[in-house]
Amino acid sequence: MEVRASNTPLLQWTGDSLAFGLFEDAVELTGDLATLDENLAGSIKELIAEEEFKGKAGSTIYTRVPPGNQIRKLIVVGLGKSEDLNLDSLRRAAASIARAGKTQKCKTLAISLPIDSQELAATAQVIAEGVELALYEDTRFKSEPEEEKKTTVETVDLLGLGGQEAAIARAKQICSGVILARELVAAPANEVTPITMAQTAQALAQDYGLQVEVLDKEECEKLGMGAFLGVAKASDLPPKFIHLTYKPQGTPKRKLAIIGKGLTFDSGGLNIKGAGSGIETMKIDMGGSAATFGAAKAIGQIKPDVEVHFISAVTENMISGHAMHPGDILKASNGKTIEVNNTDAEGRLTLADALVFTDKLGVDAIVDLATLTGACVVALGNDIAGMFTNNDDLAKELEAAGEQAGEKLWRMPMEERYFEGLKSGIADMKNTGPRPGGSITAALFLKQFVKDTAAWAHLDIAGPVWADKDNGVNNTGATGFAVRTLVEWVTG
């Protein structure tokens, strides 16, 4: 599938399906659309009336037009209220159109959406993103691709956006990262393991000129990573501590680090996840790590003047005779001791050592991403990630990046008094606090492994890592959440 910048006037475009948008407060045909409707003997007006189309955001209608015309089919997408139009509503409209085009089995598609002449590049980028991401289909694990799911769309012309080839290319680079993240998250734990994650990092380094270092268990032991290794103990697979680095040609403007939680499977350990706990979905528990890999892939192509470190402590949380016992005391690489009162709060243990390692790199800011707590999903639902940070400037940067990327972040409080819930009678802290405020105590735990001086943010992505149904640019399944925000943060 190819997205193309096109200057062909709407009335001259020929192909399978032509798509355009109408606002909720103005479901009427003017200008070229009125002419097109006349040329099509009133088919568009008829379609709008028959379907009682009101222009609501995300609603789509489509029809066949009489044979012998320049186009074979029409798609009309609702844009919502005109005053609410923004880049993300265009991105979502493009996604709805792409899905309709696929349903129609169209090969050639043209999209005509409202264009702000001040923001041509950004407009082209978001429309291209919407198309690329909505048309992505994961067929890796089907022996025969399902007939109705086969993508048929071959070319998508963005009308009125001629000359925006660079913006479309950028969208493609970003989406290649989002899709890598989706594929890593969606693949089950017998396919994506600590070993394959290390191989993927090595391949990324090779393909995009990044540096890569993979520390094995012995090297992690030497660094004193007792928290990470405590989690890894029960697995038959070796843990891998992965450090990818992107370095620009000249002197970097900034140095940043992105850490991802990398649990290729989370059984809960001896505090095993019971029936009804969603244990069978816990292949998604490396979604943070997958987002860092996706961002690395996009950044390796975009090549900004910023140095970026990508860090993942990758392992599984399993049970066996080697498993850590509930109540065990672990020592992290900064010397702090942790009483493991719940082996299912494993992500924060792996992140503890990753944070200590990253803090020593001397970067300007650290962001970690983790499918860390069910409590955050309860608080914010499936579309919004929780953001916890000790730095207001970093909060603003990430909020702006998320907004631009169409990914929602909501700042949560780091209420220091709640650290009370992590006090241990025998060690420096416990790894698990009480159920109320569970995402906050998780963030406060992580904070113990970051120097007070570092600008640090933690994003809890347990909700948005996965979509239960098609929603905006996300198809049912892994979303690749945070890749777009990270790329925007680093390059924007």
CB under 5 to 8 A by kind: which of Zn ion, Mn ion, ligand BES, none does 462 bind?
A: ligand BES
Residue whose C-alpha is closest to residue 208's, from 304, 312, 315, 314 = 304
Nearer residue to ligand BES within complex by CB, 132 or 285: 285
Residue 231 is encoded by which pair of tokens?
């989690």
Query: Which one of 38-46, 264-272, 301-309, 330-338 is the stretch in contact with Zn ion (CB under 5 A)?
Result: 264-272
374, interface contact from ligand BES, Mn ion, Zn ion, none, CB < 5-8 Å by kind: ligand BES
Q: Which span sits near Zn ion by CB under 5 A: 56-64, 190-198, 277-285, 393-401? A: 277-285
Nearest partner of 242 among 350, 398, 349, judged by Cα? 350
Give the residue closest to Zn ion by C-beta: 266
CB of 192 to Zn ion, least distance (A): 15
- 316 touches Zn ion by CB under 5 A: no
Q: Which residues are near ligand BES by CB under 6 A?
A: 266, 285, 342, 344-347, 371-375, 377, 432, 438, 462
Task: Clarify whether 4 is annotated catalytic.
Answer: no
Q: Residue 197 CB, nearest distance to ligand BES (Å)? A: 16
Q: How far is the CB of 437 from Mn ion (least distance, A)?
A: 17
Q: Three-state secondary structure along 38-90?
A: HHCCCHHHHHHHHCCCCCCCCCEEEEECCCCCCEEEEEEEECCCHHHCCHHHH
Q: Choose the stretch contacting Mn ion; rule: CB under 5 A; options: 35-43, 304-312, 345-353, 356-364.
A: 345-353
Catalytic position from the list 72, 92, 170, 348: 348
Q: 17 or 264, CB closer to ligand BES?
A: 264
196: number of Cβ within 10 Å: 16
Question: Which residue of the set 273, 303, 331, 411 is catalytic?
Answer: 273
- Write out the H or E segment, with its range, that includes residue 403: helix 392-405
Q: Residue 276, by phi and psi: left (phi above 0), alpha (psi -120 to 50) or beta?
A: left
Q: Of the two residues 162 and 374, which places its CB atom closer to ligand BES in the complex?
A: 374
Give the binding range for Mn ion (CB under 5 A) out of 76-84, 336-344, 352-360, 381-389: 336-344
If one asks whether residue 285 binds Zn ion (CB under 5 A), the answer comes out as yes
- Report the nearest approach of ligand BES to the CB of residue 286 (Å): 10
Number of chain positions touching Zn ion (CB under 5 A): 4
- Closer residue to Mn ion in complex, CB, 266/359: 266
Contact 158, 98 (CB under 8 A): no
Residue nearest to ligand BES (CB): 374
Please give the residues from 346 up to 365 whose contact with Zn ion meets the rule CB under 5 A: 347
Query: Is 348 among the residues known to form the active site?
Result: yes
Query: Restricting to residues 219-278, which ones interact with Mn ion according to CB under 5 A?
Result: 266
- Cβ-Cβ contacts under 8 Å for 489 (sequence gap 6 or more): 256, 367, 397, 398, 401
Rounded CA gap, 436 and 344, in Å?
16
Bridge-partner residues for 389, per DSSP?
457
Least distance between ligand BES and beta carbon 270 (Å): 12
Query: Hey, what are 14's tokens?
Result: 């020929």
Q: Rule CB under 5 A: say whether 287 interacts with Zn ion.
A: no
CA atoms within 13 A on the CB side of 201: 30
The amino acid at 283 = K
Instruction: Work out how close the CB of 231 gets to ligand BES at its nearest, in angstroms, rounded to a whole number.
Output: 10
Q: Which does 432 bind (CB under 5 to 8 A by kind): ligand BES, Mn ion, Zn ion, none?
A: ligand BES
Cβ atoms within 10 Å of 57's Cβ, excluding its own = 18
Nearer to ligand BES, 205 or 231 (CB): 231
Question: At 139, which amino acid appears?
Answer: T
375, interface contact from Mn ion, Zn ion, ligand BES, none, CB < 5-8 Å by kind: ligand BES
Q: Between β-strands 155-159 and 108-112, what pairing exists: parallel, antiparallel or unpaired? A: parallel
d(CA 291, CA 72): 40
Distance of CA 477 to the CA centre of its chain: 12
Strand arrangement, sheet containing 329-331: 329-331, 337-339, 429-430
438 binds, among Mn ion, ligand BES, Zn ion, none (CB under 5 to 8 A by kind): ligand BES
Nearest-approach distance from CB 326 to ligand BES, in angstroms: 11
Task: Give the nearer residue to Zn ion in terms of CB position, either 60 or 371.
Answer: 371
Q: Hey, which bits of 252-325 come out as E strands?
A: 254-266, 306-317
How many C-beta atoms lie closer than 10 Å to residue 355's C-beta? 29
What distance in Å separates the CA atoms of residue 154 and residue 284, rounded to the nearest whole number? 31
Closest CA to 178 of 491, 490, 492, 485: 485
Task: Give which of Zn ion, Mn ion, ligand BES, none residue 342 binds (C-beta under 5 to 8 Å, depending on kind).
Answer: ligand BES
Q: What residues form DSSP beta bridges with 21?
A: 77
**DSSP string of 197-222, one letter each residue:** HHHHHHHHHHHHT-EEEEE-HHHHHH
Q: Please state the closest distance from residue 236 (CB atom) to ligand BES, in A.
A: 20
Q: Which is nearer to ligand BES, 180 or 345 (CB)?
A: 345
Residue 88 or 346: the one with the smaller Cβ distance to ligand BES is 346
Q: 55 or 269, CB closer to Mn ion?
A: 269
Of the candidates 176, 168, 242, which has an alpha carbon nearest to the alpha carbon of residue 205? 242
Residues binding Zn ion (CB under 5 A): 263, 266, 285, 347
Binding site for Mn ion (CB under 5 A): 266, 344, 346
Tell me the catalytic residues. 273, 348
